[in-house]
Amino acid sequence: MSQSFNLQEHIAKGVEKIVADTLKATLRDPRESAFMVKFAAAANRATRRRLELEEEGLHVPSFLIASITSACNLHCAGCYSRCNEATVDSEPVKQLSAGEWAGIFKEAESLGVSFIMLAGGEPLLRWDVIEAACQMKNLLFPIITNGTYMDDTTFAQLDKCRNLIPVLSIEGGREITDARRGEGVYDKLIAAMDRLHEHSLLFGASITVTTENIREVTSPEFMEKLVSRGCKLAIFIEFVPVTEEARHLAPADPEREYLLAAMEKLRQAFPELIVLAFPGDEKADGGCMAAGRGFFHINSHGGAEPCPFSPYSDVNVRDLGVRGALQSPLFMALREGGVLDNDHVGGCVLYEQRERVEALLAGKAL
């Protein structure tokens, strides 16, 4: 990585662009725009706070991913969370309480975090945590949901709490979505999108990209179907193969290049649409942004992990808080040991390099 690469400056520019794009996407909704103006000011304060802490020797990312439950009502094919046993059918135990999550959110805000993505499992099963997030008006909470638990109560809460942004997971059209997520899920997703649009609520779509669906989900025709229903955000997430049998589905460099080019075309075709990718352009980012470089993950039991696809932890936020998690020996070793800028297949270098991550976790040299 170039010595001249300024990570905090790079992150700050990325945050500014996301906020600016969101403001542009909400111009026709006075209530949403009013909230985003206030959030833009809060995001600027958060950037200044991160820069202050950087001077003190603590690097704080602007993003945090919080898997607030291990429960889910679906059994999607190839789900990384179930393969890693982070999502299970048994009754969840030892999960963080709503009060503990509220404390995490408050500490994260005090350190300069601006965005906390709520995931799971199915996050809408933890309504107590959703209500705690609602109170944090200076933070933006994208909620990655399968869209099957949205009812009148959900829409009323989202209308009241504009810092909560539902992001519905979809794989493409009905056939491919139902093949992965279960029969009838596509129709429930479309119905939920239509209700969100009726309520003039900001929402997005989370789209898992594989070698099989990449051309369909990046086509103007598919995106038009989402945009016409009021979708303002599209997050393309590269498929991570958690089994050898699924390895052929993982995007490699040719697919990544195609995805980046297609995303730029979509931005031109749909100027009010926010188009993002995870993990994004790692070459431009100076490597993978996990392990606290640009984000990190807290699992439902409080374990601080590099990312959801790399379920390794040596600290728990119950014991050390968010600040302590950012100073995790594992995170430090990953950031300083060159693991994050290795080539890889699929969306996660740490999954590809899991033997090295496990060696670091065990305290062994690289």
pLDDT in tens, the chain (366 residues): 444 567 788 778 888 888 888 888 887 888 888 999 999 999 999 999 999 999 999 999 999 999 999 999 988 887 878 877 788 888 777 899 999 999 999 999 999 999 999 999 999 999 999 999 999 999 999 999 999 999 999 999 999 999 999 999 999 999 999 999 999 999 999 999 999 999 999 999 999 999 999 999 999 999 999 999 999 999 999 888 777 777 888 888 899 899 999 999 999 999 999 999 887 766 667 778 888 988 999 999 999 999 888 888 999 999 999 999 999 999 998 888 777 776 655 556 777 777 788 888 887 544
pLDDT at position 364 is: 56
Residue 262: give the domain boundaries: 7-285+297-360
**Structural domains of the chain, count:** 1
Question: Which pLDDT score is estimated for 282?
Answer: 66
Report the pLDDT value the prediction gives residue 342, as an integer from 0 to 100.
63
Does the residue 228 lie in any domain? Answer: yes
Per-state percent for the chain, helix, strand, coil, to nearest 5: 50, 15, 40
Give the model's pLDDT for residue 239: 87
Q: What CATH number is attached to the domain comprising 95? A: 3.20.20.70
pLDDT value for 2: 42
What's the 3-state SS for 215-258?
Answer: HHHCCHHHHHHHHCCCCCEEEEEECCCCCHHHHHHCCCHHHHHH
d(CA 77, CA 203): 24
- Is residue 344 a part of any domain in this protein? yes
CA angle 135, 136, 141 (to 5 degrees): 110
Q: What is the pLDDT of residue 123?
A: 96
Any domain includes 1: no
Residue 366 lies in a domain: no
139 DSSP 8-state letter: S
Residue 291 included in any domain: no
- Residue 184 DSSP symbol: T
- H-type alpha helices, 113-229: 127-134, 152-160, 174-181, 185-198, 214-217, 220-227
- Dist. CA 311–CA 297, nearest whole Å: 9
Domain contains 2? no
State how far the Cα of 167 lies from the Cα of 33, in Å rounded to an integer. Answer: 18
The structure tokens listed for 350 are 């740490």
Task: Give a yes or no: residue 365 inside a domain.
Answer: no
Q: Identify the pLDDT of residue 309.
A: 83
Residue 110, in any domain of the structure: yes
